[in-house]
Homo-oligomer: A and B are copies of this chain.
Amino acid sequence: MSLRYLTAKLAQQIDEELMNQAGAFSIDQLMELAGLACAQALARVYNKNEYPNVLVCCGPGNQGGDGLVAARHLGMFGYNPVIFMPKPGSKDIYKRLKAQCDNMDIKTIPPSNDTSLLQDSLSSSNVILDAVFGFSFKGPIRTPFDSALPLLTNSGLPIVSVDIPSGWDVEEGNVEGVGLQPDVLVSLTAPKLGVRSFRGRHFVGGRFIPKSLEEKFELNLPEYPGSDQIVELAVKE
């Protein structure tokens, strides 16, 4: 039985089942574990001595929330994260997650109509955590991200993408050719259909799916080692 790659609809359904009354999880819990997994995957591949400066790029949705949690944990791990969040989420949880980063003295690039501040930050960054768009992304890429994504690509920096590389169609992949090309991918709960062709280092995180839910959706998740919050998938031929 091989690992199941999820449609956008199925990923949404799993999230809903985790958080409905029966599933009983709060978004705070799931985001905390998801963001921690992202931070640990980045730390596994890019050590803090060689790659201390992490540009954490956050979109306005749940994906951005995962990014903020990851930024905080990266700060705890001894990295110097900087947040690029040109379109802050409006939900209460984003404001709280952002305040937690502020309390850690994690800098955020001020919103701006020109891209020079982002370019400055890129020039002093060692690695990018891409938490811009998640599994509910539907193109086309809108402003301000239409101008930001090419800058991330052109920076030549290594990229760790969360769940689905930003700009990729969740089910079809990088069909428009405008998406990021990450070196590392962290799929949350289970990989999405669009990343079937991904050939970089691929981790799965979000170790909170009850066995009954895994069986119901025939996820065939890989076995996480020990008490780790991430598991690396074997490289595909």
Chain A residues close to B by CB (< 8 Å): 22-26, 28-29, 32-33, 36, 39-40, 43-44, 72-73, 76-77, 95-97, 99-100, 103-105, 207-208, 210-213, 224, 226-227
Contacts and interface: CB of A to CB of B under 8 A. Distances in A.
A227 B104 contact: no
Main secondary structure of the interface of A (DSSP, over half): helix
Nearest to A72: B208
A213 B28 CA distance: 22
Nearest to A95: B24
A226 B77 contact: yes
Contacts of A224: 76-77
Contacts of A213: 103
Quick one: copies of this chain in the complex? 2
Given A76-B208, A105-B210, 17 more contacts: A24-B95, A24-B97, A24-B100, A25-B100, A26-B26, A26-B28, A28-B28, A28-B29, A29-B29, A39-B227, A40-B227, A76-B224, A77-B224, A77-B226, A77-B227, A100-B210, A105-B212
A165 B212 CA distance: 34
Contacts of A96: 24-26
Contacts of A72: 208
Contacts of A207: 73, 76
A97 B24 CA distance: 7
A25 to B, nearest CB: 6
